[in-house]
Amino acid sequence: MFSQAHIHVTCENHIAYLKVNRPEKHNALDNDDIDALLSACAFIEAAPEIRIVVLSGTGGKVFCSGGDILAWSKLSALDFGRHWLRRSHMAFDALARLRQPLIAVLNGHAFGGGLELAATADLRLMENHARIGFPEPGLGVIPGWSGTQRAVRRFGAANIKRMALFGETMDAPTALAAGIVDEVLPQGTGLERAKELAEKVSTKAPVAIEAVKMLINMAEDEESGRAAEALAGVCVGYTEDLQEGIQAFRNKRPAVFHGR
């Protein structure tokens, strides 16, 4: 169990349920929530029993409305760029690079940072009453939580241009046809479907699932450097040479390696 600011994590049968719980503010994220997302990711990463994560918003109307305008509008231009955007990128990168697969349940509207939050997931389920879009230019700002980067890689530049440049919002069938979401479901059934999918994944070999996710992330340039080193480190970790090197260090003698 994890609870900090408006971010809550509960665990059940190898599944972690990560929720943004701020319905009175349309699940908008403030500075404390960004820090909480980072802490939640650290909690999830460190829990060996967690094999898959389901992300959702509470309230049923809005998945996440993005950054809390009252929080970021008070910042100076330098603080906005140096701290608000950089810290948020760290949190969203941590979500996208979780070792466990991540399912986002868009059980309400996802605008701006909410859609960028959904972009961190490996699979997106969208309930049929929800809409998505990037309204930031109408406020004089940009989609700054990787809306012009990760979202472009995962959703395609043409779709992002439709929303960010031309102000289009998409309903669930349009988002499905555009490849932005993977399934459209009746209102109120997204979490049930996510649990069904998560239970299937949780029965598969967790190390193989983790490796496949990292390889796919490498293919789409999500985390090439870290993933390559992590996978190589695992391979080296199984070698007799590693054990020989450790024993030699402990016994203060030269190591004798055999390439196996």
The pair of structure tokens assigned to 116 is 């960028």
Is 240 among the residues known to form the active site? no
The pair of structure tokens assigned to 211 is 């490796």
CB contact at 8 A, 227 and 215: yes
Pick the catalytic residue from 116, 127, 210, 222: 116
Is 116 among the residues known to form the active site? yes
Say whether 125 sits in a helix, a strand or coil: strand
Pick the catalytic residue from 12, 45, 49, 136: 136
Determine the Cα–Cα distance for residues 10 and 138; give it in Å rounded to an integer: 36
Say whether 217 sits in a helix, a strand or coil: helix
Residue showing tokens 């941590």: 94
Numbers of helices and strands, H then E, in the chain: 12, 11
The pair of structure tokens assigned to 201 is 């994944």
Query: Positive or negative, the Cα torsion across 162, 163, 166, 172?
Result: positive
Residues with Cβ within 8 Å of residue 248, at least 6 apart in sequence: 254, 255, 256
Determine the Cα–Cα distance for residues 54 and 97; give it in Å rounded to an integer: 14
Residues belonging to the active site: 116, 136
